[in-house]
Amino acid sequence: MKTHSAFYLIFLVATLASSPIQAQTYYNWMSSDIRDAWTQGYKGQGTTITVIDDYNSTSKFSGNFGDGKNTLLHGEWTFKEISMMAPSAFMSKIDFTQKNAVSLAAGLNVLNLSYGIFASASHTVNQITWDAQDRSIINSAQNGTAISIKAAGNNAISITSANSAGQKDFLNLALIGAPTAIFVGALDRNGTTSTKASMATYSNFAGTDTNVQKNFVVVGVRGDVTGLNGTSFAAPVISAYAGVLGSKFTTATATQITNQLLTTARQDTILNYNVTIHGRGEASISRALAPVAIK
């Protein structure tokens, strides 16, 4: 484990629990928009999605993504979720306790971060001793070489606030203002204009910092269906969307893909939409894919 702060997986345990991934199979925990993207031929091809997570601990969780109950490590679940939604992306996994800098591939790179790095709220970002892995993640978001998709957290507070233990998630804080960082909160379902979604009771929210609000989106997490709750399972949806979007806009930069996901989020599918809670709104892969070109 890294010694400068405490690690927490951004995950809520529920009681459910996979057989090999069945590529391009639609399940009802997904937004129907992803099925439409597949029909158009956009499945993540040509993109690299790296899932930085827990692959080495003894902490396993039960769930079912629709292809059979199983008990897996946290990283195995988030890796699987992205693979099911962006089946043609090149997938890579790195344990979050290793210390080496993250290597990026040619083309669009997406980093899924379904964990937090916690320390006393009395510290500042500059006082945290980041190892090479942490620093490479933060740098890639700040210089636009990769999209960092960060789970917002499960304390029902703004992502800049201290939790009940008096700690803040300094990975969240370090990514604020980075042009290719996206913070992801959880809705209780995939919203529609006729059946609007509400913020999941556990999910952290955007708060009053405008630099957070403009890079914050929400997506549905169907823990009632899968048994897997938490913003840990919201972030992989956006990682998959980024890969799918990159398979259409093959020459787009990480900044362009990030902006497209953020600016096409919708507010009309959210009950009582509020920028301080929901940021940009509910991410929509169909809207993001709609134009012929993006800038």
- Is the residue at 295 inside a domain? no
pLDDT, mean of residues 110-124:
97
Average pLDDT, whole number, for the chain? 93
Domains of the chain: total: 1
Q: Give the pLDDT score at 16.
A: 36
- Is the residue at 128 inside a domain? yes
* Residue 145 exposed, middle or buried by CB count within 10 Å (0-12, 13-18, 19+): middle
**Across 17-21, 50-54, 64-68, 288-292, least confident range:** 17-21
- Is the residue at 294 inside a domain? no
* Cα 191–chain centre separation: 18
Model confidence at 254: pLDDT above 60: yes
pLDDT, mean of residues 119-143:
96
**Three-class SS state of 165:** coil
The band of 277, judged by pLDDT with boundaries at 50, 70 and 90, is: very high
The CATH number for 232's domain is 3.40.50.200
* Cα 135–chain centre separation: 19
pLDDT, mean of residues 192-203:
98
- Is the residue at 1 inside a domain? no
Give the domain extent around 193: 6-289
pLDDT, mean of residues 191-195:
97
- Is the residue at 167 inside a domain? yes
The band of 89, judged by pLDDT with boundaries at 50, 70 and 90, is: very high
Pairing of strands 47-53, 108-113: parallel
Q: Give the pLDDT score at 120.
A: 97
Q: Give the pLDDT score at 1.
A: 33
Q: How far apart are CA 80 and CA 21, in angstroms?
A: 7
> How do the residues of the chain divide into helix, strand and coil, expressed in percent and rounded to 5?
30, 25, 50
Dihedral Cα 229, 230, 234, 236, nearest 10 deg:
-80
Model confidence at 142: pLDDT above 60: yes
Model confidence at 22: pLDDT above 60: no
Q: Give the pLDDT score at 200.
A: 98
Model confidence at 39: pLDDT above 50: yes
Q: Give the pLDDT score at 7.
A: 57
Q: Give the pLDDT score at 295.
A: 85
- Is the residue at 164 inside a domain? yes
The band of 158, judged by pLDDT with boundaries at 50, 70 and 90, is: very high
